[in-house]
Every structure is written in structure tokens, then in C-alpha cells.
Structure 1
Amino acid sequence: MLAAYAATQSETDPLSGLVVGDRPAPEAPAGWSVVDVRTAGLNHHDVWSLRGVGLPADRLPMILGCDAAGTDADGNEVIVHSVVPSDGWRGDETLDPRRTLLSELHQGTMAEQVMVPTANLVPKPAGMSWETAACLSTAWLTAYRMLFTNSGVQPGGTVLVQGAGGGVATALIQLGRAAGLRMWATSRDAARADRALEIGADRVFGSGERLPERVDAVMETVGAATWSHSVNSLQPGGTIVIAGATSGYDPRKGELNKIFFKQLKVIGSTMGTRDELAQLARFVQAAGIDPVIDSVLPLDKARDGFAKMVDGDVFGKVVFTLH
């Protein structure tokens, strides 16, 4: 079957290890299902895998991809939940210290077929497009948990999103706007700032710019470069939800004095549960949200999508189509 997979890894030239070619079709054991993939989404996780981060070389070749939507063996339209807990785990699968994502231990979603635990299949809402469904499993699920499970912000509250443009950031803006939150964002790029306003941000500020008032919560995925700004942007008792650190994990100043003096909350957030993915899918459909999609490409052109992400030339999601 056709698949996009990591054959080798390179920290400096990740595309050198990407192959779009034939891989064996999966055969599902008991408790697992094979899904005929209609659409698959690209994430930074896939580029990191090609760089050798989070994917040991002894697991190569590895089909990439965490996001997918398709049909199961009974013809049901489903969305794939990519967090796979260890055998016997009960409860929130994101808290399992031995959890993995598809494409880390088990083959990923960028293929004509993917094998997943049957419990990881979520019904695709009737009428939802395949392209929308392919956006939800990773970036949008991460945003949903950050905003609705962990931030504590009520409708009418103000949320700052650090770094407009990526899949998580665009999802946060669109979800927050639909839920009645006032969504602010930061950006270093004027064109991305304009796009953020177009998709629902109330205001966009330059990176590090002083805000006209302090916010209830900050959604932080940038890390070291924006940490002090995030802390300084919060009103007393506010919350930083951190789900990534693309600029590094070690800020120059920890700002601990401000965190305890202002009684701020710092909450780590990783992906989401199967139940949260089902809730997200229903919300997106009911609210009529169309996720921002940068481009839609056939899987045999996957290299073009990966190149856009490596070059930082993506606003929203890149989606690959099959069948």
C-alpha cells in the first residue's frame, strides 16, 4: 500500500529520510481494527520524527502521521484517536507514562490503511467533511483540552494565544471564538496577524508587546521566547496552559516571584482523551467551524507538504487525501 514513511533520520535535513512508497498492509490482531484512510493530517510531530526526536532509529521504517479519518471494516465513518495506552491501562490515557502516539511504536496514519485499537475509533459526525475530520486528532484535540479542560476560562473571558499561525494556535482561535471567548494573539509576522484576525482573533499584537489589559489565561506553545511575556500578561489568579516549547524549554527568567505573588496557575497539557476527541468533533460540527486548512494534497505529493512545514510556510493544517 502507498505510505509516507521515515526510512532514515537527519537532524539537519529531515526531508532526506522521507519516502513515499509501498509498505505492507496491516493485519489487525484481536481488539484492533484496520481503517481505510480517506484523509490524514500533517503535524510538527512528523517532522520531529524525521529529525530523530521521539522515534528511535531501531523502529524504522515507520509510517508517519497521527491524524486520520476513514472507514472501518463495517463501513462506519470514523476519526482515529492517536493516543495508544499500554496494555491494561485504565482511565485518562494521556496520564499513562507508557502511552505512545501512532507513528512512535505503532505504524502511523499516512497510508492507505492504518491499524489502531478498536477503542480508539470515534464516530465521524454525519455531514462533516473528510478534510475537517483529518484536522482534529492532534492539533485540534490539543487546543480543545488546553482551552476547555485546563484553562478554567468562562465565556466572555479573555485568552492570549502566543504565536498565531500553527495548527494548535489557529485551532485555539477558532474554538475560543465559537465558545464566546475574547481571543487575542501574538505574531511576529504581519501577514499571519491579518490571517489570525480573519479567522476570529479579536486583536493581534506583536511578539512581546505590552497588552492594553491583562488576560484571564495564556495558551503557551512557544516556550522560552515568550515565557516572560506570558507571565506578565496574566491578571492575578490567571492561568498559563503550556502544551509545547518550540523556541526551547529554558527561559532566561523563570518568573517564579511573579507566579507565586500573583497566585498564577501553570498547567501542563498534552493531547486529549478519546472522549474529548468525540466532544470536539461534535462541537466543531454543531458550531459550524471550518478548520483553517493551509493546503490539501494527494498522499503521493506528501513531500511538498512536509517541505512547507520544514520551511515554516504553513498557516493552519496540511491535509493529505487518499482513495
Structure 2
Amino acid sequence: MRAAYASAFDADNPLAALTVGDRPEPTHPQDDWVTVRVRASSLNHHDLWSLRGVGLTADQLPMILGCDAVGTDPDGNEVVIYPVVPTPGDPRGVSILSEHYQGTFAELVAVPRMNLLPLPDGLSATDAACLPTAWLTAWRMLTTKGRVADGESVLVQGAGGGVATAAVALGVALGKRVYATSRDAAKRERITELGATALEPGARLPERVDVVIETVGAATFDHSLKSAAPMARIVVSGATAGHEPAVNLRRVFAMQLEILGTSMGTPDELAELLAFCAEHEVRPVVDRVVPFSGIAEAFARLHSGEVFGKVVIDHIA
């Protein structure tokens, strides 16, 4: 079957480690696993990190990449794949597809049957394929961890990437006052179109916010602290610009701030997100949809840093 996979590691040029070609059809590591025929998938920065060798070892190669997908199960049902799977031997007890088990950038993928959720009416396969990683992470950051409530406000640092842009769109859909930062003027214009107030990094906000969505790290963390209202929640799911920020602890305890870490979400939270998007007609921010034959170009687009929203692969086109 055709697949896109890591055939090597290259920390400096991850695109050089990507191969598109034939791979064997998946096998089932346990009896409760099934094979899903993939209709659509989407890229995450996790895929680029895998090509750099982060989270993988050489003896795991070749590894089919991809965490997110929508497809058809053996009974003909359209399903969304929850990508977190139990993984004996992993210190976390779980992994996401493409870490220990082959990923979704292929014609077929094997997953536990319990990881399949129905594709809701009104959501296309290409839209739903954006949700299980980046959008689920943003949903959990806002709701379960951020506990965003009526009348509250949100700051999203570094909007443009998958999680941050999802947080902007979901925050607006939840009826919150959303502020978002970006270094890129064109991306700030896109943020405004989503219904948020766009600001340059480090800019003074019109108000202190109740929830901060932090995926950037050291480059923005001091601004996140200074922008937080008393008893605000600063939710962290990434550190793309440094993982060791200087933290003013006096501000943390004087303002009674919560700094909360999170990653991904649960199957129930993905079901809530799918239902919310279907009911409120929320659609993912999509940078572009490309056919599987163009997956190498899709990786290059993500690697360029110019992407706004998700890059989606249509496996049928």
C-alpha cells in the first residue's frame, strides 16, 4: 500500500528523511484491533519532529507518520480515529499513532476498535481529520484545563499553528473575548477575520485575561504572566520557542495564578468536540487540502512556517 514514512532521521533537514512509497498492509498487535481504510488525514508538527528523530529510535524505522485520520471501518461505518493507544513498555503507558504503532499517512491503518468514533452528520472527512490532535488539544486547554466560563476572556499566544489557531476559533465559537498574538501581519489579519483581536507579540492587552493558551514557551511566557488576571489559568501544551522560561514566582503566588500542563485529550473530550463542531457549525481553519500524491509538498508547506491552520491530505482525490 502507498504510505508516507520516516526512513531516516535528519535534525537539520527533516524533509530529507521523508519517503513516499509502498509499505506492507498493517497487522493487528491484538485481537481487539481493526483495520481502517483512510479517507483523509492531517499533518501536525509532531510529524516533523519524528523526521528529526524526536520520540523515535533507529530500530523503529521505517515508521509510517500521521496521527489524525477519518476513514471507513470494516463494517462500512465512517469513523474518526482517536490517536492515543495503550502502549506496554512506554513510560506514559500510552503513545500516539506513529510513535510505537504505524501512523495514518497510508491507505490503511490498524487501531483498537475502541478508538473509533462516529463521524457526525454535517462534518466532512477532511474537516474532521483536523480535530483529533491539534483541535482536541485546544479544546481540552480551553475547557477541561482552562475551565473558561461565561464572560471570561482568553489570550492565545502565537496564533497561526494548528493548536493556537484552533484555540482562537474555538474560543470565539464559545462566545469568549479572544486576543491572539502573531509576529506575522498577514496572520494577524487572518486572526481578525476569525473574530479575535489580533496583537503583536508582547503588546499590552485591553484587559487582563482569565485563560492563557500557551504553546510558544520562553519567548512569550513573561507576557503570558503579565497578561493574566488574578486567579487566571495559564495552560501550556508546547514550547516551540524555548522550554525553560524565567518565571516570576512572586507574581504567580500574589496573583494566585495556575500554571497547568496538558497534552491531547480523552476519547470523551474528542466526542464532545465533534458534537460541538457539528452542532454549532464550527469548521477547522484549513490552510490547504492536497491529494495524497502531494504529501511531500504538504510537509514542505508545514515546514516553511507560513502555514495558517491545518494542512489536510485527501486520500481519495
Same fold (TM over 0.5): yes
Deviation at 1:88, TM superposition (A): 12
Cα displacement string for residues 179-233 of structure 1 (whole angstroms, at most 9, x for unaligned residues)? 11111101111100000111221x1111011112111110000000001000000
Letter in 1 for 2:176: L
Report what 1:169 is aligned to.
164
Give the ranges of 4+ consecutive aligned residues of structure 1 lying more than 3 Å apart after TM superposition. 86-89
- Secondary structure in 2 matching 1:188: coil
- Secondary structure in 2 matching 1:126: coil
Structure 1 residues not aligned, in runs of 5+: 90-95
How many residue pairs were aligned? Answer: 315
Report what 1:92 is aligned to.
none
Report what 2:78 is aligned to.
77
Structure 2 residues not aligned, in runs of 5+: none
Deviates more, 1:22-31 or 1:135-144: 22-31
Residue among 289, 299, 308 paired with 1:315: 308
Residue among 142, 146, 153 paired with 1:147: 142
TM-score (normalised: structure 2): 0.97
Measured in 1, the distance between the counterparts of 2:285 and 2:61 equals: 32
Report what 2:198 is aligned to.
204
Deviation at 1:15, TM superposition (A): 0.7
- Secondary structure in 2 matching 1:218: strand
Report what 1:3 is aligned to.
3
In structure 2, relative to structure 1, the CA distance for the partners of 1:258 and 1:200 (3 Å cut) is same
Report what 1:180 is aligned to.
175
- Secondary structure in 1 matching 2:130: helix
Report what 1:43 is aligned to.
44
**1:239-318 mapped onto 2 (5 Å cutoff):** 239-251=233-245, 253-318=246-311
- Secondary structure in 2 matching 1:115: strand
- Secondary structure in 1 matching 2:40: strand
Cα displacement string for residues 54-102 of structure 1 (whole angstroms, at most 9, x for unaligned residues)? 111210000000000010000011000111123599xxxxxx8221110
Report what 1:230 is aligned to.
224
Deviation at 1:309, TM superposition (A): 1.1
- Secondary structure in 1 matching 2:47: helix
Letter in 2 for 1:154: A
Measured in 1, the distance between the counterparts of 2:260 and 2:222 equals: 16
The answer to whether the 8 Å contact 2:43/2:66 transfers is yes
Aligned-pair Cα RMSD in Å: 1.4
